[in-house]
Structure 1
Amino acid sequence: MREIKAIMWKELMQIQSRQKSVIVNSVCNLILIGMIGMMRLLSLRSSGQDTKGMVTNIVIYVSIMCSYMALLTLLRFWQEKSNKTIETLISMPIGVEAIVLAKTLIPVLLACVIGFIDTSVMFLSVWILYGNIKISLIYVIGVQIMFTILVGVPYSIINAYAMWCMDLTYSKMVQGGSSFAYIAVLGTMFINNNSDLFYLPRVIAIVSGVLMAIALVMLIKFDKEKIVLRFLD
């Protein structure tokens, strides 16, 4: 337990040391994704399709994309290789699985916080646009937290396995998949006209189920010897 706390504390200190860049990235992501979301809302409003369900879903799209980008900014599994600290880390008297989960927890929790702030800003923007409460802030934040935890944790495990155990080609493919997922969600926001309030939570549940299954397999396959040999290549 002491080792896990030490890893989490180290993660927090590393994030704090680059606090300025994290804030700048988060603000830029919010501006870019928020503007795209507002363009979509204005488009729906001009065509009279801005129902409560549609507006809520657009805000959820913005919220989860901001959380996702925050998580990508905060995850630093590749850093152990560049700093040459991987051997020290895995020499701790705990399993690799515990190390990976400990390194995952702080980025996921902070992504939840950043997503909460971004959601609140987007909620305020919608309130200014419509002059009344068009969506439920509590509901949107609930979906955002659901996404960040249920998708963020297994994604982080997959990312760790790619960085620590896979060849460079495969690890780059995982990174490419992350970019593709961002573009796919962004594109879906523009073409999806589903106003069902439970549509996105259902999609998140399905995606998280698939990612969790993959992450569990990778957790089982983590091996200290394989990691050391991979970093010696």
Structure 2
Amino acid sequence: MTQLEPQTREWLAALGFRVAEETRWLEALTHGSFNGNSGSPNEAMARDYQRLEFLGDRVLGLAVASWLYRAGDGPEGKLSQRLNALVSGTTCARIARRIGVPDHIRLGKQARDDGGKDSDKILGDVMEALIGASFVEQGFDATRDVIYRLWADELEGDVGRAKHPKSALQEWAAGNRRAMPVYEVVERSGPDHAARFTVRVSIHKVGAAEASATSKGEAERLAAKAFLEQFG
């Protein structure tokens, strides 16, 4: 298939994305596992979303940074803290789920069977690829407006306002004259496109806590949070 399904085109339009060149949006929704797994020569030659995701990541960062700059006069450190949280893969994946991205991703059979439609990594990447496709076709201003609508709850909410758990744990350890936290991956399961990491964080003579997530960074964040809840 080299054209968007009608329901996918309608879905994109409902989100505020204006589709001109359909192949670009197919690219944004195509995971690398899809190519060569459909039995169709046209589909086997389809590009995946990686190039558009690279571009969309930068567009998203600029749009959110601009919003944060205009929203207040906080210091650079606080702005960076919020920016990093608002454009993180976890936030992108959460928004992707909320707007229905899993129903429109093009995955190969094995990736589907492995739970690729619920992978934070894949969902976050596709969300950025859609932003990249919008930027190429409609430019920055139109894409920025779509981002602000889709990210409205996060921008107006508390995402990134609280100190990152890893920073908070490091400060807790220093303040209590303890050794610095040590993070280690104790388990990694699943294929690359649907990996799951279990991380343990420990502080000598205090204790340890573990957490699992679909990215190493998120597992570390959750482990630090669990440690503080247990020992802090």
Q: TM-score, normalised by structure 2?
A: 0.31
More strand by share: 2
More helix by share: 1
Q: Kindly indicate whether structure 1 or structure 2 has the higher relative contact order, using CA contacts under 8 Å at least 6 residues apart.
A: 1
